[in-house]
Amino acid sequence: MSRQALARVVSEFSDKPFHARQLFSWIYGRAETDLAKMSNLPRSLRASLAERFVIAHPRVELRQSSRDGSVKYLLRLEDGKAVEAVYIPEKTRVTLCISSQIGCPLGCTFCLTAKMGLVRNLTPGEIAGQVTVLAAEHHLAANAYNLVFMGMGEPLNNYDQVLAAFHLLTDLEGIGIAARHITLSTAGVVPGIRRLARENPRPRLAVSLSATTDALRDEFMPINRAYPLAELFASLRELPLAPREKVTLEYVLLRGMNDRREDAHRLASLAGKLPLKVNLIPYNETWREGYAATPLESARSFRDALLDRKISASIRRRRGADISAACGQLAILDPATLEHPVSVA
């Protein structure tokens, strides 16, 4: 519930508006689920609420720790379905990677989540709940981490719920994450990008690109057949970017397929004057036959070709690969065998 929705509920039991603010702050700011512990609320109000409502965060069912410090969480939801989220410590900040859907319908060929298909959308509470749980697990203050919607699902295909979660997460009475520290990653859902351009405040945007011709992108990312590259970049140019804000392009490097210097030059031409930073992602070879990772030397040469064209680019360190927590690797594991993928029914 948003703070406003919670205020409507609390107004049935209390004529003091600040009680709703206190309750909101307990639930989201302190991740408290036990009404009895909300000591600054009147006992009678707590008792009335306890008769009618349950406060629940996703339940941690499994933690897998990587050698690099990342931790992947399997979180169980109220209806018994599960979702994954990842804690990623970096030099100066932490990044939390969260999911917007269970599974994903978009079928990108290099992505393990795609194998699940779409199971269902997550609610705002389930999305924000991933953050409250991971922040509490690692004792994180709200200004100590970045949040990326790069887990399972296409956030712009669950637009209303994701935006409601964004407002929950940025509410200063609750978790209070700065909007600029939240990035939403899309495969290129152009109507969603255009809608997002009209939001204020709004999260930052990352686009998973991974190909510079429509022919290849049609093959890697079927969403491109609906919204080809020219239309995608036209929608990105409509974003009212803040000073120094850049759109992030995620580019998974696949040997011999999209990693030649001419691909880098085409990418630079597509970008034109759009302020961009490009994250080059080493492909993880663990699960799909037919795709191979680009060798480091070629990845560097691709990056240098972009830098020569004045485009900010870096090769991202692969994080959490040993626990299948790297990009495109989230899918529900069988908790007994830790094998991918399993039935998600």
Give catalytic residue positions: 84, 327
Residues 6+ apart with CB under 8 A from 207: 185, 186, 187, 188, 232, 236, 247, 248, 249, 250
Amino acid at 22: Q
In the three-class reduction of DSSP (H, G, I as helix; E, B as strand; rest coil), residue 41 is classed as: coil
Residue number, 23 or 106, with CB nearest to ligand SF4: 106
Q: Which residues bind ligand SF4 (CB under 6 A)?
A: 104, 106-108, 111, 113-114, 152-154, 187, 208, 328
Non-local CB neighbours of 44 within 8 Å, separated by 6+ positions: none
Q: Which is nearer to ligand SF4, 118 or 134 (CB)?
A: 118
In whole angstroms, the minimum distance from the beta carbon of 28 to ligand SF4 comes to 26
Q: Which is nearer to ligand SF4, 208 or 294 (CB)?
A: 208
Q: Cα(196)–Cα(159) distance, rounded to whole angstroms?
A: 9
How does strand 204-208 pair with strand 247-253?
parallel
Task: Select 134 or 206, whichever has its Cβ closest to ligand SF4.
Answer: 206
Whether the CB-CB separation of 254 and 280 falls below 8 Å is answered with no
Cβ at position 31, least distance to ligand SF4 in Å: 26
Q: How far is the CB of 253 from ligand SF4 (least distance, A)?
A: 15
Instruction: For residue 29, give the nearest of 114, 142, 145, 122 by alpha carbon.
Output: 142
CA dihedral 154, 160, 163, 167 (to 10 degrees): -150
List residues bridging with 274 in a β-sheet: none
- Residue placing its CB nearer to ligand SF4 in the complex, 49 or 148: 148
Minimum CB separation of residue 108 from ligand SF4 in Å reads: 3
- CB of 14: closest distance to ligand SF4 in angstroms? 42
Nearer to ligand SF4, 170 or 258 (CB): 258
254 DSSP assignment: B
Alpha carbons 205 and 183: distance in angstroms, whole number = 5
Residues 6+ apart with CB under 8 A from 318: 281, 282, 284, 326
Give the shortest CB-338-to-ligand SF4 separation in angstroms.
Answer: 20
- Measured CA to CA, the distance from residue 8 to residue 222 in angstroms comes to 43
Q: Which residue has the tokens 């004045």?
A: 310
Cα–Cα dist 138/144, whole Å: 11
Between residues 169 and 187, which has the closer beta carbon with respect to ligand SF4?
187
Cα separation of 198 and 196, whole Å? Answer: 5
CB of 76 to ligand SF4, least distance (A): 20
- Specify the 3-state DSSP secondary structure of 313: strand
From CA 164, how far away is CA 215, in angstroms rounded?
A: 36
